[in-house]
Structures are given as structure tokens and as C-alpha cells.
Structure 1
Amino acid sequence: MPQLSRRQFTVSAGVLAAATLLPGCGSGDEPRGDTPSSDAPKERIVVIGAGMSGLAAARRLADAGMDVTVLEARDRIGGRTWTNTSLGVPIDLGGAWIHGPENNPLTALADEAGARRVETDFDRPVIYQDGRELSPDVVQNTLKRWQDITKALAPLSEEAGEDESVATGLAEVADMNDPLIQWAVASEIVGEYAADPDELSLKWLGSEGEFGGGDFILPGGYQQLTQHLARGLTIKLSTEVNKVIHSGSGVRLETTRGGFDADRVIVTIPLGVLKAGTIAFDPPLPDEKQAAIERLGFGLLDKVVLKFDQPFWPDADVIGLVGSEQPVSMLINGETFADAPLLVGLRGGSEAREREALSDQDAVAQVVAALNAPNPSGSLVTRWAEDPFARGSYSFVAVGSSPDDMETLGEPVGERLLFAGEATNPEFFATVHGAYQSGVREADRILG
């Protein structure tokens, strides 16, 4: 059944123990790996950020024999992909799926890394309303109604102005008082874009590209891909960049671990960090780029992971919870990919932002109560908005913005300051593969 594009659970963050990092990643200043010798001096390239885009850029440059160093503020690599193993199995608390394997560059990367994939079936959920499982007929009827709504939104989107929101369109074509439609919006719109309908541009709804195929999760976690990319690279962890001084002659980076000089720099920090202005640029970024940063949206998708001694839920990949007070709109059955009795709850937009104020204990208790479940044997709760090195999960086209803003965000400033990251990819924003593509794009710009 055709629906809106499936990239909804793509990004988030946390901390891996240093022991889980691959050899070749360290916080010391010593170079890692060998680079081809050359009589000509190599350009010094610094990549800010060891997320997927930064690692993709650094890998491409290093393989071409360039002198490249990655500076990472966290004490781990991966950025908004974060594989946590504290519950005894790998769980991705950020990006978790490869959305559409056909012609997706992450498919080849996963093959190289030997990473197994398992498909998640989002189209046959089990849905609970007021603690009661709805019949398959009611569920399928709800999905059919949602399909009709998305079809009705299409012409409204084509005619919409820059200042119209998805909420405006939904008000015309959907009964927003219907709890089942509210659930569809929460799972298919808010979960998809990590933003509420009143934040999202109606004009640009569904403008992003999409690869063919299903949605595949990595049982071993995205760490398999990031570690594969990072092998042999010079990566300096716990190195927070505070200021980027750029000129026609070079770039100087001021960090918490001293200064770094470079011929060129690729900035791959999240849009949320750019919005916060925690890194100063001297001279300041061009007005056009700064305006694009301010107009674009940066959404939030959080997870509540619960591990139980025994499964008590139905045999389905996805479980939906209907109701305005539900602490999560959807749960992923961890048995399908982790071979453990796990449920991964998802919540996005303002609901996620408001609940970040909860303690871990209260956040878990809410989900347990909603499920009428026994106490879990372990749990994990993400707070991406509170993370100073993320400030949210991934970008979206907000009311008043457009994909042109993402193009502008990705444009270099002069010859020495380049930008990558999912928010610079107007075709595949908010995806891990979009981040990867952007890093390769900027590396190729340098390589000419």
C-alpha cells in the first residue's frame, strides 16, 4: 500500500564505551594509518564531525591520499548514529534503518562491512486503542483511509503557498478528531519528519527522493558501518570546535584541545548546532547561508527502549498505540532484529520535546503503564534535543523554507570552507544515506 516516504526513524545520539571504538580511533594526537607518499606537499584537510557525513568525506579523501584529520566533540564516532550495547544486544538509538536498499550507497557499504539486514514490515501493524487490540479489518481500513488522505493532500500541496502548513492541508481533508487518524498522523507525519504538522511546509511535503525497496534494520547496529568507514583514519575524539577562522590563505580552528590549521575544512555538524550558534565563524557566514539555517526546521525523534524477561506482545513488527495521551505512538518489536524480548518506542515532534523533561524512571513508567506491562529488566531513553552536539534529530522543510535552503546550506564559503550533512542534501535530507552522500559530494569537490 503506497504511503508517504519511509525515512522516519533515521537519526538520534548517545555514548559508546571507548572499548567499542575501532582501533584507529583515539583521543590522542598521533596519526593513524598509512597514507601514500608523495613528493608534493598535501593539502591539510580537517573534517569537523565524525558522524556519517564526516566519516564518508574523510574516508574518500584518505583513500585518495589526502592528509585528513577528523575532529569529533563526542568521545565516540557515529554522531546521530549511535549503537548502544548496554542491554546486552546492539540497539541503535539514532539512525537505525536503511530506507530503500535499491541503488542506496549504504547497501554497498553494508555489504563491505558484512552487516546483516532484516526488513521491518511497517504496513501490517497491530494497533491498540484503550488497551484493546483492534481487529485486522479496522487496522486495514484505517490504513486505507490514511492512503486516501495522502492522495487528497497531493493537489493541495501542489497549490500551496510558502506560508501554508501540513496542518492546514489536513484540516481540509481529514477528520482530525478521529483518534485513529490522529494516530496515523503521529506515526506517518510526525514520525516521518520528526515535526508536527503545523511546523511542516505543505508546499514541499513529500518533495524528497526515495530509493526503492523496503526498510531494513541492522541487527549488529550502524556501528558496523561507521567503524568500517573509520578504519585507519586520524580521528581526534573529545575535541570540540569553538571557532572557525577562515580566509583566502587557510583556516584556523580553535578547539577545546588547542588550535588546528588546515588548508580546507568540511563542516558536518548538525543543523541544530548551526542554529544554536555554538561554533563561531570569523568572518561570519554569508547572510544567505545564515538565513537558510534559520528558516529550515530541525526536528526531534526520541526512543524509549524496554527489555523484558519474556515477550508478551503479538507477533508483529510494529505495534501502534492510539490515544492523545500515549507516551509513544509506535513500538518496534525487537525480537525481529535483536533476538531479544525488546520493544523500541518512538515519539516525535512536540510530544517528544515535552517528554524530554521526564526522568528516565518516569519516561519508562509511562510506556509500561500504557502497555499494562511488567517492569522491564532494562531500559534506555534518548533525549536528542538536550544533546549539545545534536540539538535534535534531523532536518525538515519548515513553513517558510524550501529545498533551496538546503542547497544554500551545502554551498562552500570561498574555496576553503565546505559544508556537508543530511541537512545539505535536498533530495535525501533526514536520512543516513543522505548524510553519506553529502560527505562524498564534498570530498569529491576537493578532489576535483
Structure 2
Amino acid sequence: MFALTRRQFTLGLGAVAATPLLAACGGGGVTTRGHVVVVGAGMSGLAAARRLTDAGVPVTVVEARSRIGGRIWTDTSLGLPVDLGAAWIHGSQGNPLTGLAAQAGAHTVQTNFDDVVVLDGGRTVDPAAVEEVSWNWAGIIDEIEPMTFDAAPDASLADGLVWAGADLDDPLMQWMVAAAIGAEYAADPEELALRWFGHEGEFDGPDLILPGGYRQLIDHLARDLDIRLDAEVTRIAYDDAGVTVETAQEVLRADRVIVTVPLGVLKADVIVFDPPLPQAKRAAVERLGFGLLDKVVLRFDEPFWTEAYDIHSDMLGIAGGAQPVSDLVNGLRFTDVPLLVGLRGGANARAREADSDQRTVDEVLAALRAPDPVGVLVTRWAADSYARGSYSFLAVGSSPSDQQALAEPVSDRVAFAGEATHPEFFATVHGAYLSGLREADRILR
């Protein structure tokens, strides 16, 4: 089975394009560059600030939240670290985050999305049927791959699925689409551009989860940095003399600014740029997609799934396309606590964000035929005004040139970083990290 791997296939970017970025990860000499303001204390912002600070550049990080991390959010309210946003290091070989985790002393555990048991109506689906739909899915992807090279700009992945003959009425195929597309790309097939489907890069090696939480990497990068919390940026003005960054607390003047807010925040147009950003950049912001992946975290007294279903796999799938979650991560695989982390993406997640926690939990428990949990966490990233979603995707009508346009600095004063600005590794934490290094190195040059 290989239907739930991090990326379905890679079409020509891969490790070659990553080489110059990874080569830039070494230290730099002391510089006399002026003061830099970094907007956002997520992975990209902290990576940029760390690189510049280590090179001797004075840096101030302004963060709208009362915490650092952005879409990395390690919660401990259930008695153990649980990542409510980003959770995995996707592809461990050559991934800069693997080394960063080692530097931070963060323990990692391999996980395998293919190691899955599927439930339907509270009963275990015959593994042979799951394997068959996985092979069918692989064949569909093989059919879609050549379509991507000359697909029309308005063609969607949904069109490709129809042309490839996918049986979208089959509950197992519905689960496959929800898991491999909705929970992977945080978007639905109707939203994804067929032309660019699967063209993103990936690193080899197993995916890793951090039992102690991603916050370990964030704290490691943030050590000794000048970070101003509760400092929502409302206006950025720039001219030949420098930049002015206005926050809810103060007005900062600097030589340059690196903007690392999520694409969803840029789409909401809540930061005033003076003068306005170039039309090409504004058009790129509008065309690119920003998806949604929410989590439903359930802690139990006992791991009922090991007894009721004899499940010891990494993942539990829920057959059907309109389930409260498409998959659940088996927390026993990386902790000794009976924990399930449900995933739901795309339109399913958006539609259910208005539901109460109780309704959400009741629906998941019914699908699992599970006892009441002793602790619950439900995320709503679309409703989060400082995120407005989870991560970017190449929407119908967009292209990697939009990601490149988003990454272009303006007037040598205003730089942009974040996962949405990385044409190869968008939608990943390592893409965010590398984009922060990219903009720091651009200033250091």
C-alpha cells in the first residue's frame, strides 16, 4: 500500500532544487546591515531572525499572538504535548528540520501513513478490500500524471479523477480521496489545479513525529531573540530611506522588514502596505489557494481500539467521504497515553468549524463506537484571525509563478517568507524554514 504517502509523486523538482537552499544553511560572517523587523514568530520568521541575529544583524520580531510558533502550536492541556497545527517532519533524509531537531534535543518517532486500518460503521473493513482500493488509487494517479503536463489552467484534479475513471460513489474510494487529498493538501479535488498536481518536491526517508512537540524546535530558534508579543501589525510603509512598521503597541523604524504572515492573512488584506504592493504580487495572493486542515484530539482512559478492533497500526481510517474525520492518528505509536488525533480537511473541515465541540466529539465517537473521552481539543484554524486557514496549495488558475511572485522582495525593503513563498516545498514546515533562511541570506548578501 502506498496511497497515503506524503506526496503521491514528484515530477522533476526534488532534491536538485533543494541543494542551493541547503547549502545556504551554514553560518555567515558579521555584517553591518541595519535593523531588520521580522513580522511573525512562526517557523519562517524565527528562522530568518535566528540567521540574521547570528550574523550580527539587529533584529526585532513582532508577533500578533501571545505565543510564538504561529501555525505550530504545541498544547499541553491534556497532560502531554499535542501539536494542534504542524506535527510531522515530512521526509527525514536531507530535510534541514531533521538536523534542527537533533540540535534542539528533540526525540523523533517514525510514522507510516500506509499502516492503516479502516473502519466502516464501527466495523473493521477487510484488509484485502483496503489494499484493493489502494492499488486502484495508485492506478488512478498513474492515469492522472501524464494529464498534468498539458492540462488547461481551469482544469481541476476533480476533472482528472473523472477522466481516470475513479468510482467516487464507493465509500472506500471516498475515504481515499478524503485522506490522500483533503487531509493531505487541505483542499478538495475541485480546488486543486490539475496542471500542477504532484509537482511539489519531497525529501526521501520516513516521516517523523515529535513526541515532545514541534515547540521544541521553535524554542530552540527563538532563544535570546528580541520578540514582541501581542504586537499585531496594521501598517507597513516603505521608501528609499527604510521601513516603518506600525503595531498595536508601537511604531518601529528599520532598514528592512521580512513579512512572514500566512497567505490567509495576506488574502484578508488586514495589513496596509504604503505604497500598495505591486499588482503582480496582489494577483498572486488572490490566485493561490489557502487550505484548511483541522484536528479533533481525544484522550481516553483506555485504548479501546486495541481491544475492540485489535488495532495497533499508526492510522485509523473512517470509510466514506462525509465523515467527521477521514483518519485518526494512533497516539500510542508515539506516546504511552491513549490518544487519537482526528484529521479533516478541505470543505469538510470548513463546514464543520461552526459545530460545537460537543457535536464534533459525538460524531467522532459514533463513527468509532467509542466510549466517552476524558479530554478533548478541537481546532478551528479558519476562524483564527492570525492564520485564517492551515497552509497553501496551487489552486485552479494559479501556478508556481505565483509562488515566485509572492516571494519577490519589494523595493529592496520589504521581503516575504513563509511556506506559501516556496515553489518547491510549500505547505510544509521545512518549506517555511528554508524560505526564512532564503530571505535572511538575501539581506546578508
Q: TM-score range by the shorter chain?
A: over 0.9
CA displacement 1:150-183 (0-9 Å, x = unmatched)? 1111112122111100000001111111111111
CA displacement 1:195-251 (0-9 Å, x = unmatched)? 010000000000100000111100000000000000010000110000001111111
Cα 1:74–1:419 change in 2 (3 A) is same
Q: Find the counterpart in structure 1 of residue 16 from structure 2.
A: none
* Alignment equivalent of 2:64, drawn from 67, 73, 91: 73
* Alignment equivalent of 2:318, drawn from 287, 300, 321: 321
Displacement of 1:57: 0.1
CA displacement 1:393-422 (0-9 Å, x = unmatched)? 000000000011000000000111000000
Q: Find the counterpart in structure 1 of residue 279 from structure 2.
A: 287
| 1:108 counterpart letter in structure 2 | G
| 2:299 counterpart letter in structure 1 | K
Q: Find the counterpart in structure 2 of residue 116 from structure 1.
A: 107
Is 1:217 the counterpart of 2:209 in the alignment? yes
Is 1:233 the counterpart of 2:225 in the alignment? yes
Secondary structure of the residue aligned to 2:38 is strand
More displaced stretch, 168-177 vs 195-204? 168-177
Secondary structure of the residue aligned to 2:78 is coil
Q: Find the counterpart in structure 1 of residue 48 from structure 2.
A: 57
d(CA) in 1 for partners of 2:294, 2:31: 48
- Deviating 4+ runs (over 3 angstroms): 1-5, 38-42
Is 1:131 the counterpart of 2:128 in the alignment? no
Displacement of 1:3: 4.5
CA displacement 1:262-319 (0-9 Å, x = unmatched)? 1000000000000000111000000000000000000000000000000011111100
Displacement of 1:40: 9.2
CA displacement 1:182-201 (0-9 Å, x = unmatched)? 11110001111100100000
CA contact (8 A) 1:7 1:430 kept: no
Displacement of 1:115: 0.7
CA contact (8 A) 2:90 2:203 kept: yes
Cα 1:308–1:39 change in 2 (3 A) is closer
Is 1:91 the counterpart of 2:88 in the alignment? no
CA contact (8 A) 2:37 2:258 kept: yes
Q: Find the counterpart in structure 1 of residue 389 from structure 2.
A: 392
CA contact (8 A) 2:5 2:113 kept: no
| 1:6 counterpart letter in structure 2 | R
Q: Find the counterpart in structure 1 of residue 189 from structure 2.
A: 197
CA contact (8 A) 1:246 1:283 kept: yes
CA contact (8 A) 1:4 1:206 kept: no
Q: Equivalences for 1:410-425 in 2 at 5 Å?
A: 410-425=407-422
* Alignment equivalent of 1:46, drawn from 29, 32, 37: 37
Q: Find the counterpart in structure 2 of residue 443 from structure 1.
A: 440
d(CA) in 2 for partners of 1:112, 1:302: 29
Is 1:334 the counterpart of 2:331 in the alignment? yes
d(CA) in 1 for partners of 2:4, 2:316: 19
Displacement of 1:325: 3.3
| 2:218 counterpart letter in structure 1 | T
d(CA) in 1 for partners of 2:190, 2:232: 34
CA contact (8 A) 1:5 1:210 kept: no
Secondary structure of the residue aligned to 1:203 is helix
Secondary structure of the residue aligned to 1:365 is helix
CA contact (8 A) 2:31 2:57 kept: no
CA displacement 1:331-384 (0-9 Å, x = unmatched)? 000111122000000000000001000111111111111111111000000000
CA contact (8 A) 2:116 2:314 kept: yes
CA contact (8 A) 2:322 2:348 kept: no
CA contact (8 A) 2:257 2:413 kept: yes
* Alignment equivalent of 2:161, drawn from 158, 170, 173: 170
Q: CA RMSD in A?
A: 1.5
d(CA) in 2 for partners of 1:5, 1:342: 22
* Alignment equivalent of 1:383, drawn from 374, 377, 380: 380
Q: What is the TM-score normalised by the length of structure 1?
A: 0.92
| 1:253 counterpart letter in structure 2 | V
Q: Percent same amino acid among aligned pairs? A: 61
* Alignment equivalent of 2:264, drawn from 272, 285, 297: 272
d(CA) in 2 for partners of 1:154, 1:328: 28
d(CA) in 1 for partners of 2:32, 2:54: 16
CA contact (8 A) 1:74 1:237 kept: yes
Secondary structure of the residue aligned to 2:119 is strand
Q: Equivalences for 1:4-43 in 2 at 5 Å?
A: 6=6, 42-43=33-34
CA contact (8 A) 2:153 2:398 kept: yes
Q: What is the TM-score normalised by the length of structure 2?
A: 0.92
d(CA) in 2 for partners of 1:217, 1:40: 36
How many residue pairs match? The answer is 419
Is 1:299 the counterpart of 2:291 in the alignment? yes
Displacement of 1:39: 12
CA contact (8 A) 1:183 1:323 kept: yes
Displacement of 1:7: 6.2
Cα 1:3–1:127 change in 2 (3 A) is closer
Displacement of 1:124: 2.2
Q: Which runs of 5+ in 1 are unaligned?
A: 9-37
CA contact (8 A) 2:383 2:389 kept: yes
Is 1:361 the counterpart of 2:358 in the alignment? yes
Is 1:102 the counterpart of 2:99 in the alignment? no
d(CA) in 1 for partners of 2:425, 2:136: 27
Secondary structure of the residue aligned to 1:343 is strand
